[in-house]
């Protein structure tokens, strides 16, 4: 049986937010079973990473795709980039199920959307996987020769958002002596720690992978704590740079830092947690704003790509964050409400595409 790509309806899903289109891609031969969610294409093609995880079931995968694609729309819009929001998720274990045949099938599924969706790496996929998909699809971004890895830009953007939040809340100029608790020392977290150490910040770190902790501590001075302790560690800033959903209602009273800003996508288990954080006096910088550096990087992709220009472009995340926080204070609402509003002013919703 060949690859099939069929439209699905998801309007009854709690994470549905007027998404323009959702498709299932099914290729029994390679084992590909994937969902592509396109939230919005008003500013340009929907851009978003390809995530591969052993999801519990289709509903969980769909939920992830819907939430992540929506965040991508807001991320590109708030930074005024020429992209809409999309996301693709593959149901499967990247360690055992990911084969060239599966990646090629995924590339053909992306092609079936005719350029409405641009794909790049995400959790469970790598730059090498993107190169494999590029063999069959022109709609792949983040491919060597025309771009670098988006990680340095993501980490640098988080640094800028973090500096703006620290200046706003702690009145501190720069990060000298500021304590940052970093959860997750993968590509972004480790790079962020490097930038923070350079800026004079004191680091407290945790990762479920002991090797990652050891690698980091060989490079920069950092105190390590157990993964389950990092969220409640006393610090000036908590920086979630691992998985999403780490801040739920129960986590709010455990947080011991007045500022939360990090790279992880969908940090809040539910949107309402933003109100709880504000009520607890904790300043939370919306994740899609703090981690927008990766998309800024992709927007610079092409011949003449220069990583220094990308980092310069990421500097503006300081200004956008400062603006969001100042307006939130002035209006007495949460930063996420202001960020959403700013982003929504920068994309116009298109009529919903109903699928039977
Ligand atoms: P990664 O997979 O390289 O690193 C994640 C790290 O978190 C790993 O070292 C893992 O062992 C650790 N980890 C997992 N669960 C943990 C826990 N409970 N406590 C402590 N550590 C834990 O991922 P990467 O690329 O660094 O991304 C990190 C986050 O930033 C993800 O949520 C990703 O979606 C988000 N992000 C990444 C971008 C990029 O450019 N790579 C762009 C935008 C967002």
Residue among 203, 198, 233 at smallest CA distance from 216: 203
- 203 vs 198: CA distance, rounded Å: 11
Question: What tens digit of pLDDT does each residue of 30-71 get?
Answer: 999 999 999 999 899 999 999 999 999 999 999 999 999 999
Question: What tens digit of pLDDT does each residue of 152-190 get?
Answer: 999 999 999 999 999 999 998 899 999 999 999 999 999
pLDDT of residue 356: 37
Mean pLDDT of 287-310: 92
Residue among 348, 285, 343 at smallest CA distance from 318: 285
Active-site position among 67, 75, 87, 98: 87
Instruction: Determine the distance separating the centroid of ligand 1 and the alpha carbon of 210, expressed in angstroms.
Output: 14
Give me 64's structure tokens. 């992830």
Give me 49's structure tokens. 């990473």
- pLDDT class of 146 with cuts at 50, 70, 90: low
Place of tokens 């100029």: 173
- 300 vs 288: CA distance, rounded Å: 18
Instruction: Determine the distance separating the centroid of ligand 1 and the alpha carbon of 100, expressed in angstroms.
Output: 24
123 Cα nearest atom in ligand 1 = 2
Apex 301 CA angle, 299 and 306, nearest 5:
110
- 175 vs 197: CA distance, rounded Å: 9
Name residue 63's beta-bridge partners: none
Instruction: Determine the distance separating the centroid of ligand 1 and the alpha carbon of 244, expressed in angstroms.
Output: 9
186 Cα nearest atom in ligand 1 = 4
Instruction: Determine the distance separating the centroid of ligand 1 and the alpha carbon of 204, expressed in angstroms.
Output: 16
pLDDT over 90 percentage in the chain: 86
Closest C-alpha to ligand 1, atom 40: 151
Do the Cβ atoms of 151 and 127 come closer than 8 Å? Answer: no
Q: Please give the order of strands across the beta sheet that includes 84-91.
A: 4-7, 21-27, 32-40, 84-91, 46-53, 117-121
Residues with CB under 6 A from ligand 1: 123, 150-151, 154, 183-189, 206-209, 212, 227, 241-244, 263-265, 291, 294
* Ranges assigned E (strand) in the chain: 4-7, 21-27, 32-40, 46-53, 84-91, 117-121, 179-183, 202-206, 223-224, 237-240, 259-260, 283-284
CA-atom Rg of the chain in angstroms = 20
87 is annotated as an active-site residue: yes
pLDDT over 70 percentage in the chain: 96
Residue to probe by mutation, ligand 1, list 85, 149, 185, 263, most atoms within 8 Å of CB: 263
- 246 vs 240: CA distance, rounded Å: 8
- pLDDT class of 145 with cuts at 50, 70, 90: low
244 Cα nearest atom in ligand 1 = 32
Average pLDDT, whole number, for the chain? 94
- 117 vs 88: CA distance, rounded Å: 9
Do the Cβ atoms of 55 and 61 come closer than 8 Å? Answer: yes
Residue among 152, 209, 156, 202 at smallest CA distance from 182: 202
User: 144 pLDDT exceeds 90?
Assistant: no
243 Cα nearest atom in ligand 1 = 32
């Amino acid at each position: 049986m060949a690859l099939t790509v069929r439209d699905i309806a998801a309007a009854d899903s709690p994470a549905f937010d007027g998404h323009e289109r959702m498709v299932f891609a099914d290729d029994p031969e390679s084992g590909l079973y994937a969902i592509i969610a396109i939230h919005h294409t008003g500013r340009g093609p929907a851009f978003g990473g390809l995530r591969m995880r052993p999801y519990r079931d289709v509903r969980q995968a769909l939920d992830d795709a819907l939430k992540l694609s929506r965040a991508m729309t807001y991320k590109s819009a708030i930074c005024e980039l020429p992209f809409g929001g999309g996301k693709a998720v593959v149901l499967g274990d990247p360690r055992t199920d990911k084969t060239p045949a599966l990646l090629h099938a995924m590339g053909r599924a992306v092609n079936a959307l005719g350029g409405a969706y641009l794909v790049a790496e995400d959790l469970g996929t790598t730059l090498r996987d993107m190169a494999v998909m590029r063999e069959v699809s022109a709609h792949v971004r983040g491919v060597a020769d025309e771009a670098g890895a988006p990680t340095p830009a993501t980490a640098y953007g988080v640094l800028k958002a973090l500096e703006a939040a620290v200046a706003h809340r702690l009145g501190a100029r720069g990060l000298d002596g500021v304590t940052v608790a970093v959860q997750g020392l993968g590509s972004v977290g480790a790079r962020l720690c490097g930038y923070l150490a350079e800026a004079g910040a004191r680091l407290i770190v945790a990762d479920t992978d002991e090797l990652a902790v050891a690698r980091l501590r060989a490079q920069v001075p950092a105190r390590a704590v157990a993964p389950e302790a990092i969220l409640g560690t006393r610090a000036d800033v908590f920086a979630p740079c691992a998985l999403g959903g780490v801040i739920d209602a129960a986590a709010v009273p455990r947080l011991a830092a007045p500022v939360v800003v990090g790279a992880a996508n969908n940090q809040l288990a539910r949107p309402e947690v933003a109100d709880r954080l504000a009520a607890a006096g904790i300043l939370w910088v919306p994740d899609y704003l703090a981690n927008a550096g990766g998309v800024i990087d992709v927007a610079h992709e092409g011949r003449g790509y220069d990583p220094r220009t990308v980092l310069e472009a990421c500097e503006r995340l300081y200004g956008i964050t400062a603006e969001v926080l100042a307006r939130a204070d002035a209006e007495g609402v949460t930063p996420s409400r202001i960020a959403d509003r700013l982003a929504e002013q920068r994309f116009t919703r298109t009529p919903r595409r109903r699928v039977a």
